Amino acid sequence: MKNILLLVMAISLLGGMVVLSYFFTPLAWGAGLLWLCLTLLWLWSLRIKDSSIIDSFWGMGFVILAWLWYGLLPDSNPRALVLCVLVSIWGVRLSTHIAVRNHGKGEDYRYQAFREAHGDKYWWRSYFRVYLLQGVLLWLISLPLFFTQHTPFTGWTWVDALGGIIWLAGFVFEALGDWQLAQFKANPQNKGKVFDSGLWQYTRHPNYFGDAVLWWGYFDFAVAAGAGWTVLSPLLMTFLLMKVSGVALLEERLVETKPQYLDYMSQTPAFFPKFWKR
């Protein structure tokens, strides 16, 4: 039953992509460019036997789509340009951070487990379940970016200002959280220890929380452009970060490798920060 539901969802998502791409040609160009990038990335992963490289592409994928769609605009759009700049700042920082963090460490344990589970079939199954799946998610989550850019600009509103404030708060939370954790891990004396200072004393995953908040900022720009129906994007991103590829998946590993993490879990919320103590 679970496999059937997943198949129905996959067909529905692909059907939605086809319909939207039919009515909005730039969306089809974006899907095609994503497919090309991810296929080349997949071929390279087969050569180096490391699927972790897909993680470094996630942020840059949004940057590529944003500037492609901006380049296909028939007229100038100040809101579209501002959005491209914000997406670039976030995407380049995120991809660079992940690439530097993963450099020289080999394939991530998630992909190693997937590789072992599928054996000789991994090489082609990874194309669909790792690369193309992320491509579909990336394309869907980016819809607010597209409809913000391709809606005629009629002037700035207070909703734009709110979106900028929310984006900045999320970006600072994500970037500062990543930096604090990287500084902690850089000290050999902290190996095996749990980091519970800085932003990490308020939430166990300030970087994931900041990422989710940031996407609600992008959504506000879409609301200002009259595309509030794209609320699926920040909802999907928040869900993925909380329940699928972010908090839930990482904490399974942390509980296994760091017994003291259970104490940290009992004192600190998983996602939404708590800035006060009992």
Domain spans in the chain, listed from the N-terminal domain onward: 2-267
Q: Which residue type does 95 have?
A: S
- Is residue 260 very low, low, confident or very high in pLDDT (cuts 50, 70, 90)? confident
The tens digit of pLDDT for each residue in 32-66 reads 999 999 999 999 999 999 999 999 999 999 999 99
Under 8 Å between Cβ of 138 and 131: no
pLDDT for position 5: 46
* Amino acid identity at 28: A
pLDDT tens-place string over residues 196-216? 999 999 999 999 999 999 999
Q: Find the angle CA(271)-CA(256)-CA(123) to the nearest 5 degrees.
A: 90
Q: Where does 49-127 have alpha helices with state H?
A: 53-71, 78-102, 109-118, 122-126
Pick the most confident of 112-126, 155-169, 237-251.
Answer: 155-169
In the chain, count H helices and then E strands.
13, 0
- Is residue 73 within 8 A of residue 150, CB to CB? The reply is yes
Task: Specify the pLDDT at position 110.
Answer: 86
Task: Give the predicted TM-score (pTM) of the model.
Answer: 0.90
Condensed to tens digits (0 to 9), the pLDDT of residues 143-190 reads 999 999 999 999 999 999 999 999 999 999 999 999 999 999 999 998
Q: At what angle do helices 232-239 and 133-141 cross, to 10 degrees?
A: 130
